Amino acid sequence: VMNRLSGWGWRSSGIAWLALLPQLLWAAVLTGQVVGISDGDTLKVLDANHQVHTIRLMGIDAPEKAQPFGQRAKQSLSALVFQQQVQVEWHKQDRYGRIVGQVRTRAGVDVCLEQLQRGMAWHYKQYIQEQSPPDRITYAQAEDAARAQRLGLWQESSPTPPWLWRQRH
């Protein structure tokens, strides 16, 4: 990055670094083919360099595999993206080394949002500050609509959110 900055005549200017910082923190994009589905919010992408990346879908939390609807959430994600080319826009890795990102199909479908719309995940509000303001609203509305229509996991009268299920197990 410093070489690029110095090429622009911004050698060590603190102002230049501050202006560029948000772009440096947010601008990573990964493309590749989905080669594995771990659960309803985690998949594996093979990039052009034949490296496999584990991707945690940003903004959602799906039931764990052993939870009710856990297998259905995994099947839903598989039907959406398995063996397809995707683009992952990301800005961080979680404590397990997984890339946390927003996944889109070649057709532009937001896979995270689609899982919410199908009733296969919760909007993960614990990390809401990491989403853009429009995504926060859209994801919350998608969860509310799936809940109102009793889609997927919302067929249960009181489904246990995965973050509470993980604490108990």
- Catalytic position from the list 56, 104, 118, 143: 56
- Catalytic position from the list 4, 64, 104, 106: 64
Please indicate whether residue 130 is annotated as part of the active site. Answer: no
Please indicate whether residue 64 is annotated as part of the active site. Answer: yes
**Helix, strand and coil in the chain, % to nearest 5:** 40, 25, 30
What is the dihedral angle through the alpha carbons of 169, 117, 94, 91, rounded to the nearest 10 degrees?
-170
Read off φ and ψ for residue 140, nearest 5 degrees.
-60, -45
Instruction: Copy the structure tokens of residue 12.
Output: 């060590």
Query: Strand pairing of 99-105 and 52-57?
Result: parallel
- Catalytic position from the list 4, 89, 98, 104: 98
Please indicate whether residue 98 is annotated as part of the active site. Answer: yes
Buried b (16+ CB within 10 A) or exposed e, 155-167: eeeebebbeebee
Q: Please give the sequence-ordered ranges of beta strands (E in DSSP) within the chain, or none if there are none.
A: 28-39, 42-46, 52-57, 60-61, 85-93, 99-105, 122-123
Tell me which residues are annotated as active site: 56, 64, 98
